[in-house]
Amino acid sequence: MKTYQKIGWICLLVVHLGIIVSFNLLGLQKYNDEEVYNQLSPRGQKVYSAIQPYFTSRIPSFLVPYAHLAGTDTGYTLFSPNVPSAMSVAFELSNPLGDTVAVLPTLNTREGTDRFYVNFNTYKSVEEMRTLLAFSWGVRTMEIYPGYTDVAVVLGSHRKPSMKDYRHGVQSHFVESARYEFTLND
């Protein structure tokens, strides 16, 4: 490798890693939201408050396409600060005769079904899209189960008891958080 190539590579390395750091610092900004902040431990809140002023608040727009291409336009904070209660969805289908059936998301492959649960990331983070997403899931489910004219998309989360509560007999339970109802027009 020639010297100029070496210098070029080191510059690229610095910029590349710098972008990863920036996106992660940007991702940590979400801890500023009251809901997330309250999940931090008391020591975590102190540490976060001390370091938060140094975080990036925005990424220069010209770097975004590069980061997208490099797959680095994301933070790596899965399951943090805590492991959240898992969301779930069920569809209640009914027809004019009064027949009702409840089904879970139906995809054809195991991988596809697993990946359906990723939808909840967007559902949770983009409030404006919730009804649209529920509508889209509901319509697809009606296409898979023809003959039904109404669908209720029931969303909720599985509340898992702590280990201590579980030892005392408390079981996990489903808490409904939202219900969207759609009717097929003629």
- Which positions from 113 through 132 interact with other proteins, judged by CB under 8 A? 113-119, 121-122, 126, 129, 132
> By CB under 8 A, what part of segment 90-109 binds other proteins?
105, 107-109
Residue 103, Ramachandran bin (φ over 0: left; ψ between -120 and 50: alpha; else beta): beta
How many beta carbons lie within 10 A of that of residue 32, not counting itself? 13
The footprint of other proteins on this chain (CB under 8 A) covers a number of residues equal to 74
In the complex, minimum distance from the CB of residue 161 to other proteins, in angstroms, rounded to a whole number? 9
| Cβ closest to other proteins, residue 9 vs residue 177 | 9
What does the alpha-carbon distance between residue 43 and residue 25 come to, in Å, rounded to a whole number? 19
**Going residue by residue from 150 to 169, which x/- string records binding to other proteins, judged by CB under 8 A?**
--------x-x-xxx-xx--
d(CA 42, CA 39): 9
Give 32 or 99: the residue with its C-beta nearer to other proteins. Answer: 32
Shortest CB 120 distance to other proteins, Å: 9
Look at residues 28, 174, 184, 164 and name the one whose alpha carbon lies nearest to residue 96. Answer: 184
Compute the distance between CA of residue 185 and CA of residue 115 in angstroms, rounded to an integer. Answer: 30
State which of residues 55, 75, 145, 152 lies at the interface with other proteins (CB under 8 A).
75
Q: What is the distance between the alpha carbons of residues 134 and 181, in angstroms, rounded to a whole number?
A: 9
Binding residues for other proteins restricted to 8-47, rule: CB under 8 A:
9-10, 13, 16-17, 20-21, 24, 27-28, 31, 39-41, 44-45, 47
- Residues 6 or more apart whose CB falls under 8 angstroms from that of 152 comprise 91, 92, 94, 179, 180, 181, 182
Q: Is 80 in the site for other proteins (CB under 8 A)?
A: yes
Confirm or reject binding of residue 83 to other proteins (CB under 8 A).
yes
* 57 vs 98, beta carbon nearer other proteins: 57
Q: Smaller CB distance to other proteins: residue 74 or 149? A: 74
Q: Cα 49 vs. chain centroid, distance in angstroms? A: 25
Residues 51-70 that bind other proteins (CB under 8 A): 64-65, 68-70
Q: How far apart are CA 136 and CA 145, in angstroms?
A: 14
